[in-house]
Amino acid sequence: MEKSIVVDLFYLPPIEFFTAIQDYDRILVERSDNYQKQTYRNRAQIRLANKVETLSIPVYGGNKKKKYSQIKIDYDQKWTNVHLRGIQSAYGKAPFFEHFFPYLEDVYKKKIDNLYDFNLELLTLCLALLRMNIEVTETSQYREYGQETDLRGVIKTKETYSERAIYQPNPYMQLFGSDFVPNLSVIDLLFCEGPHSLRILQNSRKIE
C-alpha cells in the first residue's frame, strides 16, 4: 500500500524534513494554507566560518490572511545575490559543491515570482539530488487527512528538533569547526556528503 505524507513547503528545508519523509512513497505539499511569518517557508540555515547564517527571502504582503500560493517574492531587494554568495562562501570548498551548485543556481536565475512555486522547484531539485524516489503532488484544498501522515505545523523554527520525535543528529564532516551543527538546510548535507547523504538521513531517524 502506498504511503503518503502531507507536508508544509519550506525554503531549502532542514535535514529534519527529509528525515521525516524518507520512508514515504508520496508527499502531498500543502498548497491551500495561509502564509505564516517566521517559519521555514522563507528561511534556511547554512554554516559559515564563524556562525550559522539564516538566509531569508523578502516577500510582499506576508500576512496571515493571504494564501501561501499567492505570496510574491520581493526582487527589488537583491537577495538572490546575497543568498548565492552566502552559499558559495559557506560551501565553495565542500567536496560536492561543483557537482550540485550549478543546478541550484539555475533555479535562482529563473526569478520565479511566487514563493510557493520557487520553493516547490527547489524541493523537487533537492529530492532528485538526494536520489529520493518520492512522488510530489499538491493539495487542492485545505482539509484534514485520515489515511495520510500529517506533518503540517510540526516542524517549527521556534522549537528545536530535540523537542520533536523525528530527527536525531548523525554527524558528518562539515567544513568549519570541530563541533557538529545539526539540522541545517539540506544543502549543507548535500555539499558535504553528496551520494552518501541518503545514508546519513537513514541514520538520522529518532529512535525512542
For residue range 134-178, list pLDDT tens digits in order.
999 999 999 998 889 999 999 999 999 999 999 999 999 999 878
Q: What is the pLDDT of residue 96?
A: 98
Mean pLDDT over residues 31-41, rounded?
93
Q: Which of 33-37, 102-106, 141-145, 147-151 has the highest mean pLDDT?
A: 102-106
pLDDT confidence tier of residue 30, bands split at 50, 70 and 90 = very high
Asked if the model's pLDDT at residue 64 lies above 80, the reply is: no
pLDDT at 207 over 90: no
**Cα of 40 vs its chain's centroid, Å:** 7
Q: Give the CA count within 13 Å in the CB-facing half-sphere of 189.
A: 29
- Model-level pTM greater than 0.85? yes
Residue 121 has a pLDDT of 98
> What pLDDT, on the 0 to 100 scale, is given for residue 91?
98
Q: Where are the domains of the chain?
A: 4-202
Residue 50, pLDDT above cutoff 90:
no
Position 208 pLDDT exceeds 80: no
Q: Are 197 and 189 in contact (CB under 8 A)?
A: yes
> Confidence class of residue 185 from pLDDT cuts 50, 70 and 90?
very high
Number of H helices and E strands in the chain, helices first, is: 6, 8
What grid cell was written down for 95? 567536496
* pLDDT (0 to 100) of residue 178: 81
The residue with greater pLDDT, 178 or 125, is 125
* Banded pLDDT at 62 (limits 50, 70, 90): confident
C-alpha cell belonging to residue 134? 518520492
How far CA 115 is from CA of 28, 39, 61, 75, in Å, comes to: 17, 13, 12, 11
SS3 of residue 43 by DSSP: strand
pLDDT at 12: 98
Task: State mean pLDDT over 99-109.
Answer: 98
Higher pLDDT, 155 or 50: 155
Answer whether 9's CB lies under 8 Å from 122's CB. Answer: no
Strand extents, DSSP E, the chain: 4-7, 26-29, 43-47, 52-56, 59-60, 72-73, 135-138, 149-150
Which residue's entry shows cell 502531507?
Answer: 6
